[in-house]
Amino acid sequence: MNHDELYKALCKVPSGKEKSRDRIIIELFMRSQGASQKQLVDALNMRPATVSEQTDILIELGYVTKHIDFMDKRISVVGLTDEGKRLGKSLLHSYDQFLNVLFSDLSEEEQEELYRLLGKLKRPILRK
C-alpha cells in the first residue's frame, strides 16, 4: 500500500488541533508547488479558521511563507521555507515509520480494505 494514499485517507478522519501544524507541513511537503489555503482546508479536512490560524503560526516559526498568486491576485499561496522542507521531510519519515508499525499486523489485503473504507468517509459529515 502506498503510504501517501493512506495518509490522505487518514486525513479525512478528524483529529485534534495539536497535530494540525504537522499535517499542514506534511501536506505542503507533498505538494512541491505549495497550495492555497482552500486546497489545504479540502485536503486536510480542517476548518478554514484552523488552517489560517495554524498557517500564521507556521509563518512566525519560519517554516512557511505566504504570497499572492501571480495569476489570481485573490488567492494566497502557502509554501514551505527551506527549514519547513527539512521539517516536512523529517515528519513524513516519522509518519511513514509510524504507519509501518501501526499496520504491521495487517495483511496487504486488510490494508487495502482499510484504505477503501477510509475513502468512503464523507468530508462534509466530518467537518462541523
Q: Which range marks the domain in which residue 52 is found?
A: 3-123
Residue 58 lies in a domain: yes
Grid coordinates representing 108 are 496487504
Residue 75 lies in a domain: yes
Strand partners for 124: none
Cα separation, 79 vs 95, in Å, equals 20
How many separate domains does the chain show? Answer: 1
What's the CATH number where 118 sits? 1.10.10.10
pLDDT in tens, 1-51: 566 666 665 655 545 555 889 999 999 999 988 999 999 998 888 899 999
pLDDT in tens, 83-116: 999 999 999 888 888 888 888 898 989 988 887 8
Residue 101 lies in a domain: yes
Instruction: Check: pTM over 0.85? Answer yes or no.
Output: no
Closest residue by Cα to residue 95 from 18, 33, 25, 17: 25
Residue 128 lies in a domain: no
